[in-house]
Amino acid sequence: MKARRGIYAAAVSPFDTAGRLNTAALIGYCQHLLTAGGCDGVAPTGTTGEGTSIAMADRLALPAAFAQAGIAADRVIFGTGAPAAGDCLALTQAACEAGFTNVLVLPPYYYKSPSDAGVFAYYAHLINGIGRDDLRVYLYHFPQMSAVPLSVDLVLRLKAEFGPIIAGLKDSSGDFAQSAAFMDATGGVENDFDVFPSSEAMLWDGLAKGSAGIISGSTNAFGTLAQAALQAAEGDARDAAMARVKAARSAAGKYPLMAAMKQAEAWRSNDDAWTRMAPPLVPLTDAQKTALRADLDAFRA
């Protein structure tokens, strides 16, 4: 089934002392996000989850572990993008076999400035290789990191060719005008194409335009604030809730996001293992930790 709409956390990933994914800890954490964490869904092994730094064997085994834990399939969008089309196919197949047919797929990001025809061929190889009508692909537009932007024309071509299999798009450009362009061109949720901007600060602007919600890294710590804004009645209550959301997002933006979200979880869970990063990323400095602690305490107050 298609992923539900609403507030998603691009879930951070815990690592053991050998640098391998701690699958049990990730599952427990995602269960927290889906309950007390305020999120409608989770997107593991994406950018915030250091997905491209996780060992392939760990990524392949993860969906089956999620299924065994009983996490609902419509509340998870697994990141399965990879530079090699065959690796993307294998990761997506593992997700589908475990019952998770919603996948978030970066374009092939090693070769720079590929043609739209080349990127189309990559997604076509994936969809034809999986060969399932229930596959739902969410395109992943993140040009700052991938250096392979997805053009509106390419998105429309993929949608025209593969219909409901091209279920939506995560726009991590940070530019609301870009998100709006994708929604305008595809028809957004009214045409069953689910665009998810990457910042909760864009939540209600996006919903008014036709978005499906948001998929954000900072909702690892501030999912409850975003959910409160989503549920708030129109008017002063919503304005106040969105002011809190924007302030939290602004605070998160002062730090390396992945390291900050891991530090926040280390404090919440009382487990410093959460601060481990996959190279070349590094944890927060002592000064950054002190400042982050002050910001978090201020929001709790």
Amino acid at site 120? F
Active site residue 112: no
Catalytic residue among 23, 45, 47, 219: 47
Catalytic residue among 110, 254, 285, 290: 110
> Which one, of 46, 92, 98, lies nearest residue 73 by Cα?
98
Enter the tokens of residue 184: 């305008």
194 DSSP β-pair partners:
168
Active site residue 47: yes
Residues with Cβ within 8 Å of 273's Cβ and at least 6 positions away in sequence, in order, are 14, 15, 16, 22, 25, 266
Catalytic residue among 8, 29, 122, 140: 140
Peptide bond into 280 cis (omega under 30): yes
- 7/224 Cα distance (integer angstroms): 9
Active site residue 140: yes
Contact between residue 112 and residue 123 where contact means Cβ atoms under 8 Å apart: no
DSSP 76: B
Cα 26 to its chain centre, rounded Å, is 15
Enter the tokens of residue 230: 């989503």
Active site residue 110: yes
Catalytic residue among 2, 170, 209, 289: 170
User: Which residues are marked as active site?
Assistant: 47, 110, 140, 170
